[in-house]
């Protein structure tokens, strides 16, 4: 048994990972159980929502039990239950939301509704405490955003993708390269073996805004490969991967450096699934100290870049401190956007 400190049981089921974690005081992971479904979705080349939902239903109670056992706690030790309620796949979200509501109701615990994207940012909270103001570069399968934070729980979107998110583009070109889903890690490894010989477009890199666009890059990539196929030419797959990744990283890093001129910050947080990309991590580690020596780079831990319950526990802890609770009417919100957390000072 552990002494009674703020223990949160946190649920994450927004896409294709079922995860339940026990987090103490918002910054210590006692357990973080993740049941991945990658093998089930591989054959389809992407996540199939109906398949994902069924897997969550099968895994959720197993994950709860495993998380409590690994943390060596019981329901009586818990102080609250946190859950992702959006954004994500509606069927997948509903499994986590209903499981969390059931546990909260049965054990008389407060229920904390957490924005999945806030969870990604707070994954970096396990590295060290946040110092404000900070900027988060949030890069995942469904989102690419620059988010400015003046205090805990205050999120202001400064720039976002207008079409495909970076992670989405990786998966789509992965199919063309014959790389199994999820393609990001393999393309990153291939990119380190190749050269940027194709000079793909750097969309919106010079435009006077902080938004992103990756659909043109995806099209240019696919057209290059299809044209080569038609004329019987063989292209170096590592060079293709390197050229694609160079374009993505150039745009992400240049826009991030530019936004920091307008919004001076103490910390830059890199978070989200694509934050595991070594090319992106390396470039930010190189460029940030050069241009902004006083800003500290916080990289979400590699094992917490993907979807996981611990990050939801970290974000949920902030809301727990501000008594921001949901009730039995809480529902999944698949297109949830960043907003001021309720009851937070503006």
Task: Give the DSSP letter string of 68-106.
Answer: HHHHT--GGG--EEEEEEESS-HHHHHHHHHHHHHHHHH
Whether the CB-CB separation of 111 and 98 falls below 8 Å is answered with: no
| 127 pLDDT above the threshold of 50 | yes
CB-based burial label for 243 (10 Å; 0-12, 13-18, 19+): buried
The encoded tokens of residue 34 equal: 């993740």
What would the pLDDT profile of 163-203 be if each residue is shown by its tens digit?
Answer: 999 999 999 999 999 998 889 999 999 999 999 999 999 99
Percent of the chain with pLDDT over 70: 94
The answer for residues whose C-beta is within 8 angstroms of residue 11's C-beta and 6 or more apart is 19, 20, 60, 81, 82, 83, 84, 96, 97, 99, 100, 309, 312
116 is in an annotated binding site: yes
Rounded Cα–Cα distance for residues 66 and 175 (Å): 35
Q: Is 188 annotated as a binding residue?
A: yes
142 marked ligand binding residue: yes
Does the annotation flag 184 for ligand binding? yes
Share of residues in the chain with pLDDT > 90 (%): 86
Task: Please give the full DSSP string across 4-51, using - where no structure is assigned.
Answer: -S-EEEEEE-SSSEEEEEEEETTTEEEEEEEEE-HHHHHTTTS--HHH
153 is in an annotated binding site: no
Q: Which of 99-108, 136-145, 286-295 has the lowest mean pLDDT?
A: 136-145
| Residue 1, pLDDT above cutoff 60 | no
- Please give the helix or strand (H or E) that residue 172 lies within, else none: helix 166-177
How many CB atoms neighbour CB 271 within 10 A? Answer: 29
Q: Which of 12-16, 74-78, 243-247, 252-256 has the lowest mean pLDDT?
A: 12-16
194 in a labelled binding site = no
pLDDT reported for residue 344: 46
Q: Which residues are registered as beta bridge partners of 82?
A: 10, 112
Average pLDDT, the chain: 93
Question: Does 138 count as an annotated binding residue?
Answer: yes
The reply, when asked if residue 120 is annotated as ligand binding, is yes
- The model's pLDDT over 22-51, given as tens digits with 9 standing for 90+, comes to 999 999 999 999 997 666 666 666 677 777
pLDDT per residue as tens digits for the range 202-251: 999 999 999 999 999 999 999 999 999 999 999 999 999 999 999 999 99
């Amino acid at each position: 048994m552990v002494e009674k400190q703020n223990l949160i049981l946190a649920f994450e089921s927004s896409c294709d990972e079922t995860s339940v974690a026990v987090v103490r005081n918002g910054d210590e992971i006692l357990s973080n159980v993740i049941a991945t479904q990658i093998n089930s979705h591989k054959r389809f080349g992407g996540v199939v929502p109906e398949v994902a939902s069924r897997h969550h239903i099968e895994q959720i109670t197993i994950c709860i039990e495993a998380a409590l056992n690994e943390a060596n706690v019981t329901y009586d030790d818990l102080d609250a239950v946190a859950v992702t309620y959006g954004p994500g796949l509606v069927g997948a979200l509903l499994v986590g939301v209903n499981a969390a509501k059931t546990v909260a109701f049965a054990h008389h615990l407060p229920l904390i509704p957490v924005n999945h994207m806030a969870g990604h940012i707070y994954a970096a909270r396990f590295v060290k405490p946040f110092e404000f103001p900070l900027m988060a570069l949030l890069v995942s399968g469904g989102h690419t955003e620059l988010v400015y934070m003046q205090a805990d729980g205050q999120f202001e979107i400064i720039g976002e993708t207008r079409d495909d998110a970076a992670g989405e583009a990786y998966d789509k070109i992965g199919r063309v390269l014959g790389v199994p889903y999820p393609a990001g890690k393999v393309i990153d490894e291939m990119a380190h073996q190749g050269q940027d010989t194709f000079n793909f477009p750097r969309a919106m890199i010079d435009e006077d805004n902080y938004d992103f666009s990756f659909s043109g890059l995806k099209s240019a990539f696919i057209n290059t490969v299809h044209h080569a196929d038609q004329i019987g030419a063989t292209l170096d797959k590592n060079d293709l991967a390197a050229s694609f990744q160079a374009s993505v990283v150039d745009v992400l890093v240049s826009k991030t450096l530019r936004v920091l001129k307008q919004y001076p910050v103490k910390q830059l947080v890199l978070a989200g699934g694509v934050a595991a990309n070594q090319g992106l991590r390396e470039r930010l580690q190189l460029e940030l100290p050069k241009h902004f020596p006083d800003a500290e780079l916080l990289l979400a831990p590699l094992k917490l870049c993907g979807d996981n319950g611990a990050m939801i526990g970290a974000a949920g802890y902030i809301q727990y401190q501000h008594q921001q609770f949901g009730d039995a009417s809480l529902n999944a919100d698949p297109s949830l956007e960043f907003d001021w957390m309720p009851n937070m000072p503006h």
